[in-house]
Amino acid sequence: MKIPLSAPDITAAEIEAVIGVLRTSRLSLGPVTEQFEAAVADYVSVPHAVAVSSGTAGLHLCIRALGIGEGDEVIVPSFTFIAAANAIRYERAIPVFADIDPATLNIDPQTIEQAITPRTRAILVVHTFGLPAEMKAILEIAQRHGLLVIEDACEAIGTEYNGCRVGSMGSAGVFAFYPNKQITTGEGGVVVTRDEGLARRIRALRNQGRYESDDWFQHTELGYNYRISDINCALGLAQMGRLEEILQKRAEVASAYHRRLSAYRELCLPPIEAASGRISWFVYVVRVPGAHQERDAVMRGLAAAGIASGRYFAPIHLQPSYAAWRHTATLPVTEAVASCTLALPFFNNLELSAIDHVCDTLGRLLRSHQLL
């Protein structure tokens, strides 16, 4: 592909930080991991952060450490990456899918209320594409029904809601740092929380169930190898130092797309601002007129022109591994939106000339398929 869908932004500072760790004898569970955790905790304004091997690992550890288990129900959107629901199933709990708001593409608080049963234990909120979910309404629902709230902020570091950074408002929040995210550790994630006991348990669970008071071969409970290396954390720590610069770059790319694509009135563009706070741009997703056939035809045309694109997201309840869930919920907005979403190339250093080429090609394809 001439223009990729995403690309990490790695500078000499990140390379030197990684090399610096390689010159030491502490490649895992060392001081750089602690520094990275402290940087994330400070940024989110919470007292505790635990670095883990992936966002998926972080979500799983939240489910387990909060005592959610077999037969418990967790409300979650279907319009998100499959890891959110998989983490629930890892503990033999039951994902209950709720529909999304057609404008924000975040979980709709009204559908959360409708999905609550006596077995509901938690709401797993996703800040989709870096746009903040309606946390005030969601937290009020959770308080009224005695439910836990887990924030999946894997796409949303830097997102703000009513003056609070996402990840800080629920029982726990999870960030992810895969190479397509705003910042990267290569592979990795961080769990943040205000609950000291929860942080202590997650820290033990990531390291084979070993608490700080245990010796190396003593394991207080069943745990996992969800550790992350100091090498990864060195990369992440250097990226954290550039986070505001990176978020600004991504906002500028989103604005450039918005200016160019506003001419195509038949396209549904993402909100360029959030009334409740700040967007941390993860991807730039438009909605193509028609249904999946038209969207897929446009994707093939983009690929032929050397432009990568993606269908963000394929609903979880329609995935083969979720066949048992296919008819358990009515999700008209999720299914309608997912049939026409198209993610365009989006990364920090995407040049204006490339954005122009993407937009011109997209416009040509929309006209050729009589969608404009």
- The DSSP output letter for 274 is B
Residue type for position 104: T
**Count of other CB atoms within 10 angstroms of residue 76:** 27
Catalytic residue among 2, 136, 181, 249: 181
The H or E element spanning position 344 is strand 341-344
**DSSP state for residue 133 in the 8-state scheme:** P
What DSSP designation does 47 have? S
Instruction: Report d(CA 51, CA 293) in Å as an integer.
Output: 41
- Cross-strand pairs, 50: 191
Q: Which of the 8 DSSP states describes residue 37?
A: H
Residue 73, beta-bridge partner list:
94, 120
Compute the distance between CA of residue 40 and CA of residue 48 in angstroms, rounded to an integer: 9
Cβ-based burial of 170 (10 A; exposed 0-12, middle 13-18, buried ≥19): buried
Q: Residue 11's Cα: distance from chain center in Å? A: 23
Beta strands of 58-134 (E only): which ranges?
Answer: 73-77, 94-98, 120-126
Q: Is residue 249 annotated as a catalytic residue, yes or no? A: no
Active site residues: 181
